[in-house]
Amino acid sequence: MLNYISRRLNLLLINAFILTIIAFLLAQWSNGQSLTDTNYIIDYVKYISAILQGDWGSSIDNRLILQQGLTAFASTLELCIISFITAALIAIPLGIFAGFYPNHFLDYCIMTIALIGLAIPIFWLAVITTMLPRLTGITLPIDGGISPIFEVPVVSGFMLIDTLLAEDLYQLNAFYDRLAHLFLPSIVLSFFLIAEIIRLTRRSITTVMKSNYIKAAYANGLSKTRLVLHHVLKNALPSIIHQLRLQLSTIISFAMVIEIVFSLPGAGVWLLNSIKEEDYLALPAAVLIISGFILLFSIFIDIFLMIISPLKRKSLYVD
Amino acid sequence: MLINYEFNEDKIQSPLQYTWSIFKRNNIAIAAMWVAIILVMIVIFAGYILPNTPTTQVKQLLLPPYWIDGGVSDHFLGTDDLGRDTLTRLIQGIQLTLGGALLLTLIVSILGTIIGATAALTKGLKASILHHFLDALLIIPTLLSALILIAIFGPSYENCLIAVSLSLLPQFIRAIYINIENELNKQYIIALRLDGAANIRLLRFGIFPNILESMVSLLNRIFSLAILEISTLGFLGFGTQFWDVELGALIASSIGLIFSSPWLVLFPGIAIFIIVLVFNVFTEGLRHAVIEGEDE
């Protein structure tokens, strides 16, 4: 167990090193310096010590990049978490059903939904969704993160928590307003996630259903609910979590695109505006923040998986 | 009736013929295959089948499609806000998006197979360095790496293709690497090794026939991601510039008209949807045929 954790920490260090090199090269490029002019090892050490002290430079309009980036990414993460919870609640039961009764009529229906969800371009679905409030007559906001009448102080960066903390200012109105702004974007993102989770769950469940211990459990006369809860799900979940971890960077990419369509302040809008204003110092900051988050989260999930499934302990590499 | 039982001349089919004979039974997959072939034909011969030139502007702006009141048969899918024919621009968009994605999948798969196989069959420091470097590249989200490359090299269609392929290449290499690595531990590979097979022979006769199924689904995944990412970058304005428009850029250019003429947004989106759907159904049928062929 200690061996496994030390291996993962080693991996974390090496990957963090490679990431900082990429960020350093980007920062050098955006400052307009070429590497041959100066001693780049000294430059790299200077850059890293500046990063570690929290001095990430400032953008063109004189705002601190570190705070800007963290706030933007927290907003993206909020969208991802909400959509993920919604999608998991809908998709996992559907996926279990489809995997449990392969080639059933409902299985075909569920898999068709999953195929459609995978094939629809996500930004197009977002554009179509912005038409929905006008066509159906429901009043839902389609752009912005929160109404400009609320001035919520930034504490954690997660707007939902901030609005709850600022309850003495606006009661719960700001919170509901934020929820309404997140409603349509999270529906679009969870549509993609539902398709993905259904596919992963079904594949994982069908693999487990073929194994011998399930046949043995059948022969012992276990009821179906007991079979699913005690045998199938326990063995299928680790590989579902593992596959979803690999999808994390895709999910964040899609969240960023959706933010741009709904002009929801977040990492996507921040990066797009920075590139359009030719403020390229945002790029190394984004690499460090977003990829650093994905890296830490992956290691965390790996250790979590090792705790719940002993089979993983043998694997040498992250795969 | 005279039946010759003694000389039963059943020819043994080659694996390819056998897979094809299983694939033929799947009607939906066959239909998808034909649509895919038609789409590829459109890509190749787009220059000859365009109904109008893409830049010709007529005086009737924002015409609806032919089957809606006010449409004219000269412009089957209507015209846009500058009076350009929608069908022409759509075909041109399909040519750029689908053609780009096909080219990109081909290049990524060839390069990825070579690098992945080399990494899996070499041991020691070289493999380790490659492994960690790929790990680091994998945790940068594809959109972010595409944005970085485009910020450095400037937006153009070619750079968009290069950016997407560079962000998909690590995924492909990693998947191929894991597949080959899993195969290498199996006993028939060890038997081949003991027979003295060189690496090329090992790959050709030992490993590739056994990872065919995951190769097919991997290629499908890379292709779908390529289509979606090329059009996403086009949508964000980092793809094609000026007159050449691919499907994402078509959607972006008509977002402002979504209420006055929604079909300008609908058609390119439906085109992307159909392309991805058709290729997915086709490869899924192919994958099933490969699995069944292996089972029997």
Note the pLDDT of residue A313.
64
CA distance B100 to chain A (A): 16
Are B253 and B183 spatial neighbours (Cβ–Cβ below 8 Å)?
no
- CATH class, A66-277 region: mainly alpha
Tokens 């489809």: give the residue: A98
Write the ipTM.
0.84
Query: What's the average model confidence in pLDDT over A206-231?
Result: 86
Contact B141 A252 (CB under 8 A): yes
Chain-centroid distance of CA A210 in Å reads 32
Contact A134 B259 (CB under 8 A): yes
- pLDDT tens column, B18-44: 888 889 988 999 999 999 999 999 999
Are A319 and B131 spatial neighbours (Cβ–Cβ below 8 Å)?
no
- Rounded Cα distance between B37 and B215, Å, is 21
Note the pLDDT of residue B154.
83
Q: What is the Cα gyration radius of chain B?
A: 24
Give, for B78, the enclosing helix (H) or strand (E). Answer: none
User: What does the block give as tokens for B144?
Assistant: 């972010």
- Among positive and negative, which fits the CA dihedral A267, A270, A275, A279? negative
Q: For B66, phi and psi rounded to 5 degrees?
A: -55, -40
Facing A15 at nearest CB: one of B136, B141, B276: B136
What mean pLDDT value characterizes chain B? 85
Task: Provide the number of CB pairs (under 8 Å) joining chain A to chain B.
Answer: 121
Contact B265 A128 (CB under 8 A): yes
What mean pLDDT value characterizes chain A? 85
Domains of chain A by residue range:
1-54+280-319, 66-277
Note the pLDDT of residue A10.
83
Note the pLDDT of residue B6.
63
Per CB-CB distance under 8 Å, the chain B contacts of A134 are 259
* Chain B: residue whose CA lies nearest to A286: B144
Query: What's the average model confidence in pLDDT over A79-105?
Result: 90
Q: Say what percent of chain B tops pLDDT 90.
A: 24
- Rounded Cα distance between A233 and A236, Å, is 5
Q: For B79, phi and psi rounded to 5 degrees?
A: -130, 165
- Rounded Cα distance between A300 and A295, Å, is 9
CA distance B229 to chain A (A): 9
Chain-centroid distance of CA A7 in Å reads 25
Contact B140 A291 (CB under 8 A): yes
Facing B148 at nearest CB: one of A15, A26, A294: A26
Contact B259 A260 (CB under 8 A): no
Contact B139 A317 (CB under 8 A): no
SS3 B85: strand
Note the pLDDT of residue B98.
94
- pLDDT tens column, B101-121: 999 999 999 999 998 888 888
Q: Is the confidence at residue A77, as pLDDT, over 90? A: yes
Facing B147 at nearest CB: one of A22, A134, A275: A275
Per CB-CB distance under 8 Å, the chain B contacts of A122 are 228, 232
Note the pLDDT of residue B220.
92
Note the pLDDT of residue A319.
42
Contact A127 B141 (CB under 8 A): no
Q: For B85, phi and psi rounded to 5 degrees?
A: -70, 125
Closest CA to A193 of A265, A264, A146, A253: A253
Contact A121 B269 (CB under 8 A): yes
